[in-house]
Structure formats: structure tokens, C-alpha cells
Structure 1
Amino acid sequence: MTEKRTGRQSAKVAEETRTKILIAAADLFASKGYAVVSLRAISEQAGVSHTLIRHHFGSKLQIWQHICDCMHQQFLAYVNLLVAEQKHGLSCRHQLFDLLIKILAALQVDPQPVRLLNDAVNNEQELFEYFLEEDDQVRKILEDLVIECHKQGYVKHFNIGELKWLLTIFATSSSTLAPLLAKPYPGETEEFCQLKSWQMFSRLLASQLDIDEKDIPKPERLSDLVIDGSPCPFKAQRQAMEMA
């Protein structure tokens, strides 16, 4: 019995250590960039030894890839949750509109993924290509909706790649160009400016999908549009650790 308990405790400590490393690394990569972040910087922020980082992950690139894998898992889970939460009987154009505006809201509320994407674009090609690996399930969900909308005469000037590009522009610019976004709204908070950016995207998309003004959500905060789903695995582990 003692050996089993000790084994469980050791496994728990190891998992907590991995979580601390991933949280620290994700924060550093998103704020400072992959190129300038060292394993030593990660170890200092995580409060663990350099040797433990090597033991659990091996290299900085492997840590970065693990973070991206976790975020891909979370994104897939979130899109599936959005689809499951949609009202029955929605037209394809309303389904597509609902998905895209809520995906954008989630990316603005938690900008870490788009900051990592922006950093990957400016760094090694390997990082960029790894980050952009798409999940077939998410791609099919969006492509099927776009194809059906095209058949009905909606968003006929946009293919799936162009719609993703439009979404990416708004998601990345509201995070990486926050000072410029604030210019039209002097004295307002960053949260207010991001809401305004989201509204611009929503109106633009609504015009292409013939969505009536009354059907465009009018949240007071972007967080009101974010469904309380599961965070990426290591963030979920952090929440569990904080609650313990």
C-alpha cells in the first residue's frame, strides 16, 4: 500500500512539475518570443531546475511543440463545443456566422495562441509550419458550411482560406497592434477596444452572409460570448492545482 501511494504521489509531483514548466514557457514565448527565451529563463520562472526541464522535455523546441499540441487539442474541443451549443434549425449562414464570431471572441479574450502564431511567423519556418498544422475535423466543419453558403449565394467572394485569413487578421491585430487599435478610442480600456474590433469583424461578416442587424450579438464584454469549455490541458491542470 505504501509503495502504491508513494508511486501516485511521485506521478502527481512529476505532472505538477511539467505543468509549471509549460505554463512558464507559454507565458514567456507569448510575451518575449521563442528566439530570446532560454531554458534557464523558463526554469527560473517555473521555479524548477534546468535539469528537470531537460528530464521532462529534452529541449526548448519540444516544450514549444507540446504547448502547440495542447492548444490544438483545446481549439478542436472548443469548436466542437460551439457546434454542439448551436440552436437547432439554424441556416448554414447563421451557423457559419455564429462559429466565426465566437472563435474570434475566444481568441481575443485569450490572445496567447495568436501571440505564439505571430512569433512563429517571425521565427523559424519549422515553428510556423508546426503551428499551422490543421485538424481535419475543424477544417471539414468550416469547409462544409462555406460550401453550402456558396451554393445559396452567400460569401461567394470568399473561399475558406480567405475567411480564415480575415479571422486571423482581426485576431492578431487586436493583440499585437493594441496601441494602434486604441487610437480611435482615446481614454478607453483595452477590453473596450477589443470589443470594437470584434464588432467591426461581425458587421463585415454579417454583410457577406446577409445577417440582419438584430441577429448580431451585442455583448457588453467579449467574455460574455466565450463558452465555459475546457481550457488547454496544462491550463486545466494549473486550475486543478490552484483549487487543491
Structure 2
Amino acid sequence: MIERKQGRRSAQDAVKTKGEILRVAANMFCTLGYERVSLRNISEQAGVSHSLIRHHFGSKEKIWYAISDCLQEFMIGYIRTIIDNMPEKLPANEKMYIFAVRLLAHMLMNKQPIQLIADAVRQEDALFDYFVDQSGEIQAVVDTIADEYNQEHPDTPIKVWEIKWQMIMYAHGAASMAPFLLQTWSEETNDIDQCLLNHWQMFNQIMAHRLQIPVEKRLTPNTVAELVYPCECAL
């Protein structure tokens, strides 16, 4: 009995250690970039030996893929949360609107996915291609909403990639150029949360106009955080 408990504790400790390594590595990849991070850097920051990291993961590339898988699963789960919380029989334009503005709000509050993707674009093609190849489930969810919208609005069809591109620009801009974000509204506030809300409102206005959302149906939060459903951190 004692041996079994010790075995369970050992297994739990190993899982905890692997999780901490991934958390530290994710922060380093996002802030420094993949090329500037080494296994030794990760081991020093995580407080574990270089050999232990190699035992658990084998290489820096495998750590990156493990982080990407976690974030991918996290984003898929969150997208499904947005869909599941939509009222039944909602018109397609309102579905697409709620999906886009709530997902951007989440990306503004949880920067790691967009930071990792942006860094992958700067690296070898294999890293970026990994995101594209792994995004089929997300794409299917978005395409379903877009197809429904285009069937209901054949005279003003939407292109999914245009909306995704706008979302990527707004998310990445806030994540990578925070000083400019603060400077933009420096005359009225020095509160980063208010600046994020102003930033989100710009996207909100674009989506509301593009998707023909009546004023009374548009979201009017006091903070971006209000739009984010409770969820566990990816790492």
C-alpha cells in the first residue's frame, strides 16, 4: 500500500514537473522567441536539471510542439465554449458577431497563442505549418457559422479568412505593441485595461457594421475581461 502511494506521488510529481517546464518554456518562447531560447535557459528558469528536461521531452523542438498542442487544445475548447453559450435559434449574423468579438476579447486577455503563432511565422516553415495543419477542427467550426451566414445573406457574403485576418491583426497588435496602445489613448487614460477596451471597441464597430448588427444587439462591456468566459489556463 505504501509503495502504491509512493508510486502515485512520484507520477504526480513528474506531471507537475513537466507542467512547470512547459509553463516556463512557453513564457520564454513568447517573450524571447524560439531561436533565443535554449534547453539550458529553460532548465535554469524552471529550476530543474538539463538532463531532466531531456528525459521528459528530448529536445527544444519537442517542448515547443507540446506547448503548441496544449494551446491548440485550449483554443479549441474555448471556441466551443463560445458556441455552446450562444442562445438557441440566434440569427447567423449575430452568431458570427458574437463569435468574433468574444474570441478577440479572449485573445486580448490570453496573449500566449497569438504570441507563439507570430514567433512561428518568423521561424522555419515547419513551425508555422504545424499550426496550419493542426487547425482543422477550429476551421470547421468557423466555416459552419460562415456558411450559415452566407446562406442567409447571399448579397453580402463574408470571407472567413478576412475576419480571421482582422482578428489576428488586432490580437497581435495589442500583444506585441503595448506601448503604442497606451500612447494612442494617453490623453484620456493611462489604464491598460481601458486601452484594451478601446482597442476591442474598434474591432467591435467593424464587425457590427460588417455583419449588420442592430445597435441594441451590440455588446457594450465595461471591460474586455467581462467578455471572457471562465476557463482554466492552458499552461
Tell me which interval the TM-score lies in, with the shorter structure as reference length. over 0.9
In 2, Cα distance between the equivalents of 1:58 and 1:36? 18
Higher mean alpha-carbon deviation, 157-166 vs 9-18, is at 157-166
Unaligned segments of structure 1, at least 5 residues? 236-244
Higher mean alpha-carbon deviation, 24-33 vs 122-131, is at 122-131
Q: Which aligned pairs between 1:121-140 and structure 2 lie closer than 5 A?
A: 121-140=121-140
Is the CA contact 2:92–2:152 (under 8 Å) kept in the aligned structure 1?
no
The 3-state SS of whatever aligns with 1:132 is helix
Tell me the C-alpha RMSD between the 2 structures. Answer: 1.5
In 2, Cα distance between the equivalents of 1:193 and 1:53? 39
Q: Which aligned pairs between 1:1-244 and structure 2 lie closer than 5 A?
A: 1-153=1-153, 156=156, 158-186=158-186, 187-232=189-234, 235=235
Return the offset for 1:121.
1.1
Return the offset for 1:144.
1.7
Return the offset for 1:209.
0.8
Return the offset for 1:101.
0.7
> Which string of whole-angstrom CA distances, capped at 9 and with x for unpartnered residues, describes residues 6-54 of structure 1?
1101101111110110010001011111100111111111111101000
Return the offset for 1:175.
1.0
> Which string of whole-angstrom CA distances, capped at 9 and with x for unpartnered residues, describes residues 96-149 of structure 1?
111111110011001111111111111121111113334333222211211221
The 3-state SS of whatever aligns with 2:184 is coil
Is the CA contact 2:114–2:172 (under 8 Å) kept in the aligned structure 1?
yes
Return the offset for 1:208.
0.9
Is the CA contact 2:109–2:225 (under 8 Å) kept in the aligned structure 1?
yes
Compared with structure 1, are the counterparts of its residues 133 and 16 closer, same or farther at alpha carbon in structure 2 (3 Å cutoff)? same
Return the offset for 1:182.
2.4
Task: Give aligned pairs, total.
Answer: 233
Structure 1 counterpart of 2:81, one-letter code: L
Return the offset for 1:154.
6.8
Is the CA contact 1:155–1:209 (under 8 Å) kept in the aligned structure 2?
no
Structure 2 counterpart of 1:216, one-letter code: R
Q: TM-score, normalised by structure 1?
A: 0.90
Higher mean alpha-carbon deviation, 155-164 vs 18-27, is at 155-164
In 1, Cα distance between the equivalents of 2:115 and 2:135? 20
In 2, Cα distance between the equivalents of 1:56 and 1:9? 17
Higher mean alpha-carbon deviation, 86-95 vs 175-184, is at 175-184
Return the offset for 1:228.
0.6
